[in-house]
Structures are given as C-alpha cells and as structure tokens.
Chains A and B, each alone.
Chain A
Amino acid sequence: MDLTGFPILSVIIFLPLAAGLLILVMPATKTGWVNGLATTVGAVDLVLALLLYFSYDQVAAGYQFIEKMPWVPQLGISYHVGVDGFSLPMVILGALVVLCGALVSWNVDDRPREFFAFLMFLGTSILGVFASLDLFQLFFFFEIAVFPKYLMIVLWGYPKTRNYGGMKLTIYLFVGSMMALFGVLVIYFKSGLNTFDLLALDQVSFAPELQRWLFPFVFLGFAILGGIFPFHSWAPDGHVAAPTAVSMMLAGVEMKVGAFAALRAGIMLLPEGAQYWQTAILILATINVVYGALIALVQTDFKYVIGFSSVSHMGLVLIGMATLTKQGLLGAGMQMFSHGIMTALFFAIVGMVYDRAHTRELSALGGLGRKMPWAAFGFIVAGLVSMGMPGFSGFTAEFPIFVGAWQVAPWVAIIGILGVIVTAGYILLVIRRVFFGELPPALEKVSDVSRKDKFVIALLSSLMVALGIFPALLSDLISTGVAYILALVGAG
C-alpha cells in the first residue's frame, strides 16, 4: 500500500491530542460521547499503526514513513518523525494500550472529561517519543507526559496514597528527565553541528572522554523512567496509587518510553560511553530482575505484586539493551512489547478485581476464579508470560536476551535466571491466593467482568499467545531495526 505523502505518523501522534481537546469542551452530561470518542481514537490509532506494520518494507529496513518540517531553524530543530523496525512495534503497543486503557475506564464518573483528555495527552506524548527523529522533539514529547501523569494519579487514584505516590513518581521522573536534558544539551553543544536531528547526531563521533562522563546523565536520566535500580522506587508506589488505566499506561508503555529513550539518546548517540558503562548497567539491571522478583514475593497487596514485577521485567529489557548484541537487542525489543501487553493486562485485571472486591489485600481475596472466570484466565495467561513460559510471548522475548547476555557476561544470565524461578513462585502463589481456594463471604456478591473487559482480556491474551507461537510476527521486524543500532555501536 502506497502511503507516500499522507502524514500517517503525524495523524497517529496527534489524533489523541485533538480528541483530548475536543473532549474537554464536550457537554458535561454526555459521558457516553467522551467514552466513545476516546475509545474510537484508540481504535483508529491502532488500525493506523497496524497499517504501518503491514506497509513497512522489511527488506529496505531503516526509517520509513518519514515526515520532516523545519520547526526552529535557528537551533537546528525540526519536526522529524519516522519509524524503524525497533520503534514500530512500540507505536503499535502505545496505540493498543491507549485503546485498552480507554475501554476499562468507562466507569470513571468523577470528571470523566478531564480524565480522558489527560489520557489522550498521555497517548500523544508516548506515540510522539517513539516516532521522534529529532532529539529536541523527543524530549518535548517526553516531558509533555509530566502533568497528565501527576494529575491523573492525584485526582483519580487510590485515595489513601495518591498524593504521596503521585508526587513521588512525578518528582523522581522529573529529576531523571532533567538529568537527561542536561545531557542532551551537552550533546547538542559538543556535536558542533547545531542540529538536534537524531540521524545526523547518530553519525557524530564524540570524544571518548566526553562520552564516558556524559553517558550516565543521558542514559540514567531516561532509564529512571525505565525503572532502573536503585532509582525504581517511584514505580511501585506510583503505579499502585494510580487509577487502573493510568497504571496500564505507566507500567505498560511509559516505562518502555524511558528504556527506549535511553537507547535512542544514550546508547545510539554515545556508543563508546555505553561500552564503558556496560558492566555497571548490567549489574544494576540484573539486580532489578532478582531484587524486583524477591520483593514481589513478599507483598501482601495484590497491586504491589504487579508493581514490583514490572520493575523486575524492565530489568530484563535493560539487560538486553546493555549487552549491545544482536540477540540482546532483539530480546529487549520483544520484551518491551510483550511485557507492555502483559502488565497492561495484569493491571486491568487487578482493577477489575478491586472494583468488585474493594480490597487489594491478598489475605482478603480468594476463590475469585469461580466468580470471574475471564479475569482468572487472563491473569493466568499473563502470569505464564511473566514466568517466561514457552508458548507465550514472555519466553520468546526472554530467551534472546539471555543469549545476548551469554555473549557478554555469563554471570548475568546465571543470576538473572533466578529471577525466572522466583517469578514463577510469586505468580503461582498469587494466582492460587486470589483465584482459587475459598471464596470469602464478603465476596459472595461479586459480579463477573463486563463485555468490554472481556474484549480487553481476549485481545491481549491472544496477542501474547500468538507472539509466543509465532515470534516471527515481530522478531523479523525488530531485527531490521537492531541491525541499524548495531552498526552505530560498532559491534557485529
């Protein structure tokens, strides 16, 4: 299909923004319109993203669907978007989670217009980052997410902890982005090219000494959003305090935005810096994997288990990236997608359970498999993905990461694999705790999930199974993007 000339990426990116503004001015009583518009936008974006997927030329590879327009010529900033094999799956993921997030939020009755508008802004921010080929623009979209995140958590989140969780998350992430901003400015200055264009900056060889001290600023700054240890504690508190759709977006996609930006602006622009700091990052990321899993094991709050499991799984993404190998990067790309869907489903189901049981304490839950079979099924599927069980997308993602780790630092693989078994432990325990066993009397009247919820569960579950059985659906695409990254890094 010939898409030349039609600015499809811009449409994908800005459609949510336009919808959000429109939603703000809708009449207060027409909640149905608000719900409908948000969901439709999510669906349209997903369809367009899939259109990109099918139109992408894997043989030619490289960045495609490029649009470029001067923005601030005096500073060498342009509006420059495009996707390659690595970012296209992320765009699909973003649209998918926006859609699912909108679907599970139809029951928000407190100021739904603001809620959905902020959700839409968040969507634009995410999609913008993934498609950005200009460093300023990337940062621009990255930062736009700050205020929707904060407001959505403190206004619609879990009342007891939302102020703390929201502020902690926002400040932590802002610190990270400010660090990154500093690094970005230094890159801009030192490149001598007076441009923010990523493609041009990719080709610049910065002095090794510069790269060594600059890399932590840029990489860590963005990786904080990815949940790197020890700067991860915002994630469990923030995600748990957030309303369901926001948790889905935050853990499902926002954390990937962080890792993605760390890759784009950190590793790809400062490859020698990445090599120099490789061991340190691997250590931190491995701690993520194991520590996150161990902490999840001892949680008593259903949502916190999932929160910490996200920290653990993002560690795998960071390991994959840090190995700077073909398989590692492939695995990182697959894991970003797989974990995105998985954790979105996890949080969606946690939300469904909480809406009905009004508690998240594991000790107060039980036997819900009988009352909410769809939720149980979805949670089990997501759980199996989380454990890295073959047949599901988690395995096809984790396996290459470990192969990459083997090439660079075998101990990472050996220690990291412990995370797998601990994950299996806490996942199975939680499944049993929540969905099997005795049904407490307080939960007798719990109803099953709605049709929209079932749709979300079915959609996300089938994607995870499909990717597990046919990894080639994404792996070939991602590999083309990986090749470009490796060329920059200088490895083979």
Chain B
Amino acid sequence: MNAVRIAVVLAALAILAAVPWFGSDVLIQFGINALLLAVLAQGWNIIGGYTGYPSFGNSVFYGLGSYGVAIAMVQWQWPFGAGLVFGVLLAAVFAVLLGIPVLRLKGHYFAIATLALAQVMAAIVSNVKLAGRNIGLVLPPLNNDRLFYELSLGLLVLATLTIFWLTRSRFGFGLIAIRENEEGAAVMGVNTTLYKTLAFALSGIFSALAGGIHAYWVTFIDPESAFDISLNVKMIIMAVFGGPGTVLGPVVGAFSLSAISEFLSSEITSLAGLFFGVVVVAAVVLMPRGLADMLRRIRRVGWRYFAENIRTHRL
C-alpha cells in the first residue's frame, strides 16, 4: 500500500468520523445503517469471500448479538459493554458448536444449511420467555446518535483492519487455499476444520457486534427484525457488488447500495424494494465479480465486459 492510498483512506476516515458534527439527524441515521451493513458485509467477506463458504445465515449471529445485548440490559441490568461481550460469546459458541457439523457441507448445501439455522433460531427465540417471546424486548433508551455512529464507524474500521491483517497472515492464506482447493489445502497441511470454524466464528463475531449496536440504537427488537432474513441477501449482494475477497470492496458495495436504496425510499417509496430486487438480478447477470472487477476491466474492454460475463456463464 503506497503512501498516497493510505492518505486517501485516512482522509476518507476523517470525513466519515466528522459527519455527526456537520450532518443532519437523518444523515447520521442513514450513516449508522450504512456503516452497520458494511460491517455485516465485511463479516460475510471473511467466510464467503475469502474462505469460499457462502453463508446464507449470518443473520443468525446478528440476531444473537442483538438478543445478547437486549437480554443482558433488560433482564439482568448489565451495562451495554457487558451486553456486547455476552452477545459475542453467544455468537462464538454458536459458530463453533453448529459450525463444525455444518461446515462439512459443500457449496449450496452449506448455504441452505446456514439459512435453515437462521430460521430455527428465529423460531426458537420466539418461544423463549427470557427473550420476550415473539413480542421482543424494549431496551433502555439512549438518545446519543453520535455515540452510535462513532461506535459503528469504529467497528467497521476494526473489521476492515482484520481483513487487511487476514490478507497478510498465514491464517488468511490458509483460508484462500481452502477456497481455491480444499482438498489440496488439507494435503498441504492446513487444518481445514480449525481454519473454517475460526473464519465462521470471526465472521459471526462481527455480525453479532453490529447486531448489538443496532439493538441498543433502535431500543426495540423482536425475532423478526433481529433475525431478519433479508439482511443475509443484503450483506451478500453488497459484498459481491463491491468485490468479494477484497479489503475495501464490501465497504464500497455497502455504501453505494445503501445510498441508492435510501434515496429511493424517501422519494419513490414503494418502488424502492422493487429496485433492490432488480439491482440484485442485474448485478448477478452483468457483473457477478463485483464493482471492483468491473471498474478495472471496463477500461480495457469497454461495454463488451458485460456481454463477456454473460457469454461465460450462460448455457
């Protein structure tokens, strides 16, 4: 990474951090949502982008983090920080216990299994009295959007730095090896089960932290919103749109898609959801390798880039 790029990134970071002092309330709210989605996308990036195990159920960790904070603060009167730790513990334990059997599955069976896990947890939690069953929990209100914004930004920085470290560490190379050729990696001495589970847990921990912050910010969670299935696709499409397996790709994807979606929500409300679906369909057909790849190659190949993508993948 040369000096210019570092300077640009630091400048962007400074601007982002200053937003709560110059932006409107609505902008800060949008910012928190976009930042948390970016964290989710980065979390997914670890297990989906780098390890090649496309989890369709990271929303389960988000939900566990949310409920961890909610139960800790509402039922046991713990402070927020302790609640976050509790949420992280829940996510980590879940990732290890259920990750080990589920990570033995390949390809889309893994995806389906994680989706099923998310559904099960939502169904289980809606029956747990401590979690408020299907009504959910109301957290003590804290009106400090600036704090939540900076927390979310900090979490995103942490997640991105983790991924950056990943790209330079043995652990990261092991994950990439698993993605490219798992059997080969095992033969070469990579402990695939350990690495996969760690990646899953790491991905889950970031999702849980995002969930915990979100829960405290919104002050109200219920099984449907905490284990929101559509979050899975949102985080995946943002990671894929921006560029899976890259350090900043998911962040770019998250910010750009959030901005477009929010703009539509406030201007042409009912069509916003429709737009989201159309973007997903179009992106998968026209630019399945993400924005980064498109920007890089469109300079060389021009509009033929899209036709090429289609030709490579169609029947």
A complexed with B: no
